[in-house]
Amino acid sequence: MKLVSLNILMGKITEPLLEFLQRQKSDTDIFCFQEVWEAPSNSEIEANPIEGSVPDTYSRLAKALDGFDGYLGPAQSSFGQRKATFVSKRLTVGHSGELGLCERERIDFASRGFERGSGMQWLSLSVNGKTLTLGNVHGFWTPDGKGDIPQRIRQSKTLLEFMDGKQGQKILCGDFNLNPDTESVRMIAEKFRDLVKEYGVKTTRSRLCRPGIGLFADYMFVSEGIKVTGFSVPDEEVSDHLPLLLSFEIL
C-alpha cells in the first residue's frame, strides 16, 4: 500500500500540484492533505492571510483523483482551512470523524486578524481483514516558531489518548507544526516510529517556503505492525511543504 501526505498551501501552486497527483495516483491508496479550501464564505476570504489561495481546491482535488472517495473535514480556522483525505475505492472505510486538538485562538498576522486551532481527521479502514486507523493532522500554528508550548503538549496528549483507544494498526501523518527536538514530538515517538527521524530526512519544507521558517513541520508516524517498505520526502515544488510518501504493509 502507499500513502501520500502533503500540506497543499491552499492550492496556491495549482498546476504543479495537479501534475504531481497525476503521477502519483496510479499506485497510491490514500492521500492526506492539509490546508484545503472549498467554497469559502466572504468572511473567510477576508480573513485569509495566504495570497493566491484557490477557493475550489477540494473540488479540483476530487476531479483529479477519480477512483478515490473524498472526505473533507470541518474548517479549523476562521479563514476556512480544512483537511481532506482521499481513499482508493479499492479500500473499505468504516468510521470517520474529526478530533479537536486545540481550540481556536485569535492571532494577528500579515496585517489581518483571524482565529486558528488544530485537529485530526481520522478514518478507520479495513485492509485485508485487518483494521487500520489513520490520523490526518494539522497542528497548532504560531508565527514565532514550532517549539513546545502548552497548546502543542496538549495536542500530542489528546491525539495519543484517542489512538490508544483504537484497535489494530495506526498511522499518524500531516503537518504537525513541530520541531523534531520538542517534547511534543518525543511524546508521540515513544509509541510510534518517527520515520522522518529514522530515515534521516533533512527537511520537509520546499524552496518555496518563506525565509526564516524552520526546516521541519511534517511527520509520518507508524505503529508496530506496520511494515515499512519505503519512505521518502521528494523534492517536489508543489507547495511550501514537501510531500511525504510511505509504502507499507499491515502485518
Give kind and range of the element (H or E) at residue 24: helix 14-24
Q: Give the per-residue pLDDT at 109.
A: 85
Q: Give the per-residue pLDDT at 130.
A: 93
Q: Give the per-residue pLDDT at 156.
A: 98
- In this structure, are residues 95 and 71 in contact, taking their beta carbons and an 8 Å threshold? no
Look at residue 164 and give its three-state secondary structure.
helix
- In degrees, rounded to 5, the angle at the alpha carbon of residue 108 between the alpha carbons of residues 104 and 111 is 140
Q: Give the per-residue pLDDT at 111.
A: 82
The residue type found at 122 is W
Residue 203's CATH number:
3.60.10.10
pTM for the whole thing?
0.97
Tell me the residue range of the domain where 183 lies.
2-250
- Rounded distance between C-alpha atoms, residue 51 and residue 152, angstroms: 27
Report the number of distinct structural domains present in the chain.
1
- Rounded distance between C-alpha atoms, residue 233 and residue 215, angstroms: 13
Q: Give the per-residue pLDDT at 101.
A: 98
Q: Give the per-residue pLDDT at 244.
A: 98
- Rounded distance between C-alpha atoms, residue 93 and residue 91, angstroms: 7
Q: Give the per-residue pLDDT at 38.
A: 97
Torsion angles phi and psi, residue 66, rounded to 5: -65, 145
Describe the strand order of the beta sheet including 218-222 as a list of residue ranges.
92-109, 112-127, 130-138, 169-175, 218-222, 193-194
Q: Give the per-residue pLDDT at 110.
A: 80
pLDDT in tens, the chain (251 residues): 999 999 999 999 999 999 999 999 999 999 999 999 999 999 999 999 999 999 999 999 999 999 999 999 999 999 999 999 999 999 999 999 999 999 999 999 888 889 999 999 999 999 989 999 999 999 999 998 999 999 999 999 999 999 999 999 999 999 999 999 999 999 999 999 999 999 999 999 999 998 878 999 999 999 999 999 999 999 999 999 999 999 999 99
The residue type found at 143 is P
Q: Give the per-residue pLDDT at 213.
A: 86
